[in-house]
Amino acid sequence: MSPAVFFLTGFAGGFLYRAGGPAYQLFTVPLLIITGLPLPAAVGSGILLNAASKLKLIYCPEITRHAHKRVGMTVAILSLPFMLTGKQLLLWLSILPEGMAVLVFTYSTVLVITALIAAGRYRHYYQFGFEDENPLPPGGLLWRYPLAVPGLAFPKHITVGRVSLVGGSIGLCAGLFGLNTRALLEPLLMYVTGLSRRQARATASFTLYPVGAFAVIIFLPDLFTFSAAGITLISLCTGYLAGYLHAWHLRRDILQNPEESIFLAWWGFSSALVLLGSRAAGLASFYTTALMFGPALVTMLGFTLITFYQVRGSDTLTRSNVQQNFKSL
């Protein structure tokens, strides 16, 4: 594949991460797998991009102000052996004919879940007139016998077993699938250890910093096991940085618009459909890659148009009230 393809892949991942959140860069790993990268190299590249996105904690310490740092460090340390186990399972999958299909199906499932959450947020806005800031269920996940209810009876559920379960889950998912993302760790902390959403978000952001560092160290040798690895990684990381900065510059003074959830939901469903459909139809990697870029391009264009009209509308409103504001002085 051309370096331009990896640059565009990184650009789309960085833009969607900054515009939509950490769950919306998940298409990068399956796209890298489709382009022909070995499974460990593709997963390692996704881990590298996830770890790079956590660097903002250096200059934004208020993100982790409400974090339970002792819990976070314990989770990170306990995740390490499970991460190594997950990588060994990934290496085993890489030599199996069905290994690529397993990872593609897993990421397709995650994309569908992400799309359902985005669609649920817009449905809530359409019904009640305001966007649901917490699309996750407020109660436990096991209904009658939940492991923990977020924010209730805290810190009763901070036990060695529960923290080990969270650390093992995030470590195994990071090592096997490259899913070291807050979109996974935050619900685990809420529904296993009983942290409130605010505490879980801060703790997850803090925890993923050492988890990402561990994962990068573990997968670093695998990033250079294929031809043209250097130019591929440079193109991917440069595109990711360019996409992130472009989305930040585009939306730095704009609040999130509820209509954007429509584009995110459509992107998730379309990307999952392309992944599963191309795999079932046996399409060549070139056509699958081109089809994967379609939903991402439409989503980025939708975000850009929404931001443009929102800025234009606010400027028009400000100019129309100039005389009235002047008289009120």
- Reported as half-sphere exposure (CB side, CA atoms, 13 A), residue 219 has a value of 34
What is the sign of the dihedral through the CA atoms of 29, 221, 36 and 79? negative
Exposure string for 155-184, b = 16+ CB within 10 A, e = fewer: eebbeeebbebbbbbbbbbbbbbbbbbbbb
Q: What are phi and psi of 195, to 5 degrees?
A: -70, 145
One digit per residue, the tens of pLDDT, for the chain of length 329 reads 688 888 988 898 888 888 777 767 777 888 888 888 888 998 998 888 888 777 766 556 666 777 888 888 999 999 999 999 999 999 998 888 888 888 888 888 888 888 888 788 778 777 777 666 666 666 666 556 667 777 776 677 788 888 999 999 999 999 988 888 888 888 888 888 888 888 888 888 888 888 988 999 999 998 888 888 889 899 999 999 898 888 887 766 555 666 777 878 888 888 888 888 887 777 787 788 888 888 888 888 887 787 777 666 555 544 444 444 434 33
Q: What span, in angstroms and rounded, lies between the C-alpha atoms of 80 and 168?
A: 8
Q: What span, in angstroms and rounded, lies between the C-alpha atoms of 29 and 244?
A: 17
| DSSP H stretches of helix in the chain | 3-20, 28-34, 39-53, 69-94, 99-128, 160-177, 182-193, 197-219, 229-251, 260-281, 285-320, 322-327
Neighbours of 198 (CB within 10 A): 14
pLDDT score recorded for residue 290: 84
Domain range list for the chain: 3-313
pLDDT score recorded for residue 54: 73
Angle between helix 69-94 and 182-193 (nearest 10): 120
pLDDT score recorded for residue 324: 45
pLDDT score recorded for residue 319: 45
Q: Note the pTM of the prediction, 2 decimals.
A: 0.81
Q: What span, in angstroms and rounded, lies between the C-alpha atoms of 168 and 138?
A: 24
pLDDT score recorded for residue 134: 66
Locate 319 and state its tokens.
């100019």
216 Cβ contact list (under 8 Å, min separation 6): 44, 47, 48, 51
